[in-house]
Structures are given as structure tokens and as C-alpha cells.
Amino acid sequence: MRWTLDCTTAQDELEQLHLSLNRDPERPVDLLVSQLLLNRGIKSWEEAKTFFRPELEHLHDPFLMKGMHIAVERIIRAIEKEERILIYGDYDVDGTTAVSLVYEFLSQYSSQLMYYIPDRYTEGYGISLQGIEFAKDHEISLIIALDCGIKDYQAIALANSYSIDTVVCDHHQPSKQLPEAFSILNPKQEDCNYPYKELCGCGVGFKLIQALSLKWGLSIEELCPYLDFVALAIGADMVPLDGENRILAYWGMLQIQKGERIAFRTLLGGQKELDELSLTDLNFSLAPKINAAGRMKHAEQAVSLMLVNNEEQAVDLADQIKKYNLERRALDQSITQQALKQISESAAEESATTVVYNPNWHKGVVGIVASKLIAEFYRPTIVLTKASEGEIAGSARSVKGYDLYAAIDACSSSLIQFGGHQYAAGLRLKEENLTKFKDAFETHVAQTIATEQQEAELIYEAELAISEIAPKLLRILNRYRPYGPKNPQPLFISTGIKVQGPIRCIGKDQTHLKFNVAHCEAIGFSMADKKELLNGAVDLAYHIEENNFRNQRKLQLRLVDIKPSMR
């Protein structure tokens, strides 16, 4: 990886911000605090206060979102007339949490609710025709679609023909043509004046219940129990952790740390103490398990678990979902190895893109495999498998700064369907068009990707002496949580380090590296191959964390990269 100092801020801006933060001479603010804030676009004392103290009162008025008024009126009318309402959502974490959130909230006001998650394999992404037929058969008159719907023209037209109204709550990039839904809630609509554009699907669902709560005279504090859903979705969907998302994630994490939701508490059994969990922990522990239900079986099981109020039922459902997750891990490891072999045998190592296809690959894990292939080759990647007779489908992932959605759009004449955003997308095409699409995608990316986008870049925020790493610094850094896009976990480097103590390879397969650097413990996951570098002076790139093992707390450097020192 190329190591680059984050130096996007001007010196005069840094001095101005640092001066404004040092109002109290008895409580001086370190220059590093100012630098980290400026790197995140925080340029004033007022903005810093909002960043460090996210308040629910800073959330935007939900009625600023286009379509919100008529959506709320339609839902209230449906409840008052005891109409049957179907809560419909995507099968990933964002979609299933959104369905759980809206269903749980509305169940206080209506007994005429059902929920529906499409089958990943027989129905695919979005509002399916099968889902509309289900709604008709169950006498549904209103569908609330969450994390999907913005491009489901045919399904919504079918719903209209059955006199079923649809409220679409989506966050994916709309096309110029919109479906003829009763109401569309999507801050990315061209003529939507909602101030914050980067909500996830569950976030849009939360704005809907916030609007309803305002109509019903509820306080924002009464919605806090639902924010655990939103926090999990924000982390899993990798939306920016700035603005309104930071407020929602901050308060949502507080809710998760209380341990009040049986489903999350059960799925996290055996993890670190709940009050120590971070959003990053959820991305690596909770989110994959919830996703596994939809990947391996059916995502309705994840919703059932998230809505359950019985400990015994929760344990049974959680055990099944944990089993699915183990099966998913074995599958994605196997398919990744097959994909790497396919790339090697096709001599595609020097291409601008990776596009691999095998009709036997499990559709539920192709997105994970695409991410792993990017880690190997670092280029826009698409992994495809058979979808139905004569058709193939799959997932696409991008590299930093490259607009994958635009690239796929440029080649869309070969596709049946596609959707997504800059860094992730899904697509479907006829098998006979694979070579045509693959060639067009390779040509377009090769012509449009910048040189610097073809190499992984490690952006660090400061160089520290090991002696500067202390508990006080960690307490300061923890105030920047929760971390995510637009607010990454601060990354530092130290140079010319000589390791004096024992160097160990640890883990089941001895793939992790562990050693001490002065008063800090350092651990490098999957870095055992770099052990020999530590015989000489090295430069370390790392995050500063705390390791709590058997109630013994130690400062820990979680290594991101190691390379021979040039000093």
C-alpha cells in the first residue's frame, strides 16, 4: 500500500480552529485534536461541539423530505380504517432492520400488519411480482417498501392495477424515470430538498416513523428504542458517518450497549461486554450473522429474530442463524479460491477489472467474494453466477474514488437490470451477453479510472513517537467514535521502530503476528508473513485501541501495515 499523510487542510485553517477550541486556558486542547477534526471537515467551535455531542434535537425535520406529508397521511388513513398493511424490505441488514423497525413501531397502532422479505434466489432484489401477488392474496391495500422500490416500475404498476398503494422508502440512486408509487421517500431525488442525502434505507424508515410520531405527539426520546436498528444498518451499509448519520449511529450505539433487544444480546453472546462494543465490532460480528439468514436460507428468519420478545425462542432462532453464518464463511472461502484460480488461468492479472463467472457459485456470497478479490487485486470487480435459465446475476464492488455505478450504467445496454451506488451494485444479464458486457466494462474502466485509483492507499493522520501513546490519547480518540466512511478510525504511523522482545505467530493457523513495542502491545491480523521484517527497523501503521483480556487492560496497536524503515 502507498502511505499518504492526510494533508488536505491548510495551515491557517488549522491555526484558526485550534485557537477557537482553546477558549479555556485551564483545559488546553491538543493540536492533534484540532487536526483530526479538520480532517473530518469540522472548521469551527460550534461544529466541533455538535460533532462531540451529537444531540437528537439536531435531527432534521422529516417533513422536509419530498413525499413525506402524503406518505404519513396515507399510513394514518390506513390505520384508522383498519386496512391491511404490508411492510416489505430487502434481504440484507439494511432492509431487514428497516422492516423490523417500521413493523415494531406501527404494531402499537395497528393489528393489521404483515411483513414480507423476497427470496434472494427465486425473487431477487427489490419489489417482486411474486411479492405483489402475495399482497393481493392477503387483501393488502398499502405496501410500505423499505430499502428498495426506486426502480421497481413493473411491480409497482402491478400493485396499482390491484388498487394497492405503495409508499417507497429508498436511498439508492434514482433514475430520471421514477415508479408510479403513491409516495416516494428518497433524499436523492433531484427535487427533494431534504438537507442530508446519505441516509441508509433503515434511516429513511426512521424518518418515516419520526414524521408519524410528530403527528401523534410523541417525543424524539420515545423513538430511542428503535435506533439500535438504525445504527446497525448504518454500519453494515457503509454510509457516511457524518451529519445526521452520526447522530443516529451515536444514539443507536448507546441503545445497543444497554442490551435491551433480546435478538442482539443473544447473537452477541460470548462477545466483549456490550457497553464496550463499537460500530466496527457490530460490522464484524452482528451484521454478518443477520446477513447470513438471507444468504443461506431466508431473511424472514432474521426479522423474526429481531422482533421476538421471548428468550427461549430467541436462542433457538439465533442458534440457527449462527449455523448459517458458519456455512456462509466456508462457502465464501471456497469460492474465493476458485475465483483466484480462474483469474490466474485466464491470465487476467493485468486487466483493469476483474469479472469472473461460475454457474455453480452460491449467489448469496458473491458480494463477499468480490470484496475479497479487491483485497487481492485492487480493481473494480464483478462476481457472477447463474440466476435462472439463460440468465446470470451477481455483485459488483469498487475501489476508493471510482464510480462503479456510472461504469455499469455506461455498459447497461447488455444488462437486463442493475442497481446500487458508487461502491457497490447488483446486476443481471443474459448469459449470451456476458462476453460483450465484460469487454465493454473492461474498456470503460480502463479509459476512466485514474492511476492513483489503481493502487491501495493508506491515509494516516499523524506520525507519533511511541512515547506519545498513552491512555489519555486513547480517551481523546474514543470521543471520535462511531467510526465509518467520512469519519474513519484515526490511523497513525511510527517510524524506525526496533522490536526488542519476543515476536510470536498466534491464532489457530498461526497467521497473526504479536509483539510488544515499549509499553504497548502490537497485533497484526493475517500478518505472520511479515515476521522476518521485524529483524530490522520497521515503520508501523496502526490504530490505537485497548485490549481488555481477563480484566487486564492494555494499550494495543492494531497494525494495518508494516514495512522496512527508510530511516
381-388 and 165-169 strand pairing? unpaired
What's the average model confidence in pLDDT over 273-285? 86
| pLDDT at position 6 over 90 | no
At 57 the three-state DSSP class reads: helix
Report the greatest alpha carbon distance in the chain.
75
Examine the pLDDT at 87 and tell me if it is beyond 70: yes
Q: Does 365 score more than 80 pLDDT?
A: yes
The count of other CB atoms within 10 Å of the CB of residue 375 is 10
CA distances from 139 to 9, 132, 159, 182, 428 (A): 58, 11, 12, 18, 31
% of the chain residues with pLDDT over 90? 82
Question: In terms of pLDDT, which residue wins out, 278 or 203?
Answer: 203
Establish if 100 belongs to a structural domain.
Answer: yes
Residue 77's pLDDT band, with cuts at 50, 70 and 90, is very high
Give the CA dihedral 49, 55, 58, 64, nearest 10 degrees.
150
Which pLDDT belongs to residue 508?
Answer: 86
pLDDT for the residue 371? 93
Q: Are residues 364 and 447 in the same domain?
A: yes
Give the chain's count of helices (H) and strands (E): 19, 19
List pLDDT tens digits, range 286-302.
Answer: 999 999 999 899 999 99
Band the pLDDT of 272: cuts 50, 70, 90.
Answer: low
Statement: residue 406 has pLDDT above 80: yes
Domain count, the chain: 3
447 shares its domain with 474: no
Same domain for 120 and 209? yes
The closest alpha carbon to 358, from 375, 374, 376, 345, belongs to 345
> What pLDDT is attached to residue 128?
96
Position 105 pLDDT exceeds 90: yes
**Helix 201-215 and helix 243-258, axial crossing angle in degrees, nearest 10:** 80
| Dist. CA 461–CA 407, nearest whole Å | 31
> Looking at the domain assignment, is residue 339 inside a domain?
no
Task: Report the percent of the chain where pLDDT is more than 70.
Answer: 99
CATH number assigned to the domain comprising residue 44: 2.40.50.460
Q: Which of 397, 430, 454 is the C-terminal boundary of a domain?
A: 454
Calpha distance 99→305 (Å, rounded): 12
DSSP-derived 3-state class of residue 73: helix
> Is 139 domain-assigned?
yes
**CATH code of 260's domain:** 3.90.1640.30
Q: Among residues 59, 350, 72, 324, which one has the least CA distance to residue 185? A: 72
Q: What confidence score (pLDDT) does residue 11 get? A: 86
**Confidence class for position 270, pLDDT limits 50, 70, 90:** low
All residues at 6 or more sequence positions from 184 whose CB lies less than 8 Å from its CB, including other chains: 66, 67, 149, 150, 167, 168, 170, 178
Residues 169 and 188 in one domain: yes
Question: Residue 421: is its pLDDT beyond 90?
Answer: no
What b/e string do you get for 495-519 counting C-beta neighbours within 10 Å, with b at 16 or more? Answer: bebebeeebeeeeeeeebbbbebee
Three-class secondary structure of residue 16 per DSSP: helix
Residue 396 binned pLDDT confidence (cut-offs 50, 70, 90) = very high
**DSSP sequence for 294-363:** HHHS-THHHHHHHH---HHHHHHHHHHHHHHHHHHHHHHHHHHHHHHHHHHHTT-TTSS-EEEE-TTS-G
3-state SS, one letter per residue, for 167-210? EEECCCCCCCCCCCCCEEECCCCCCCCCCCCCCCHHHHHHHHHH
What is the per-residue pLDDT for 551? 72
164 vs 276, residue with greater confidence: 164
- Residue 410 is assigned to a structural domain of this protein: yes
Judge contact between 40 and 48, C-beta under 8 A.
Answer: no
Residue 222 CB neighbours (<10 A): 11
Per residue in 499-555, pLDDT (tens digit) is: 988 999 999 889 999 999 988 999 999 999 999 999 999 999 999 998 877 677 889
Whether residue 522 is found in the same domain as residue 544: yes
Are 220 and 273 in the same domain? Answer: yes
Q: Which of 63-72, 265-274, 558-567 has the highest mean pLDDT?
A: 63-72
462 shares its domain with 450 = no
pLDDT of res. 276: 80
| Residue 171 belongs to some domain of the structure | yes
| 325 within domain boundaries | no
- Euclidean distance between CA atoms 252 and 122, whole angstroms: 34
Same domain, 277 and 395: no
Q: Which residue has the higher pLDDT, 399 or 345?
A: 399
Query: Based on the domain organization, do 38 and 77 belong to the same domain?
Result: no
Judged by average pLDDT, the poorest of 121-125, 273-277, 318-322, 434-438 is 273-277
What would the pLDDT profile of 233-244 be if each residue is shown by its tens digit? 999 998 999 999
Which residue has better confidence, 420 or 493?
A: 493
Same domain, 36 and 136: no
CA 376 to each of CA 50, 215, 339, 532, 546: distance values in angstroms, whole numbers, following the listed order? 39, 51, 11, 22, 29
Task: Give me the chain's average pLDDT, please.
Answer: 93
Q: In what order do the strands lie in the sheet with 417-420?
A: 354-357, 381-388, 391-397, 424-430, 417-420
For 20-47, the pLDDT digits (tens) are 998 888 788 899 999 999 999 999 999 9
Final residue of a structural domain among 424, 454, 484: 454
Supply the pLDDT for residue 53: 95
- Ranked by mean pLDDT, the top range of 114-128, 205-219, 278-292, 450-464 is 205-219
* 124-183 pLDDT per residue, tens: 889 999 999 999 999 999 999 999 999 999 999 999 999 999 999 999 989 899 999 999
The residue-averaged pLDDT of 239-264 equals 95
For residue 131, give its domain range. 62-315
Q: Based on the domain organization, do 161 and 83 belong to the same domain?
A: yes
Calpha distance 210→220 (Å, rounded): 7
User: According to the model, what pLDDT value does residue 185 have?
Assistant: 98
Banded model confidence at residue 271, pLDDT cuts 50, 70, 90:
low
The confidence band for 435, taking pLDDT boundaries of 50, 70 and 90, is very high
Looking at the domain assignment, is residue 446 inside a domain?
yes
Q: Do 156 and 10 belong together in one domain?
A: no
294, 315, 336 - which closes a domain: 315
Would residue 502 count as lying in a domain? yes
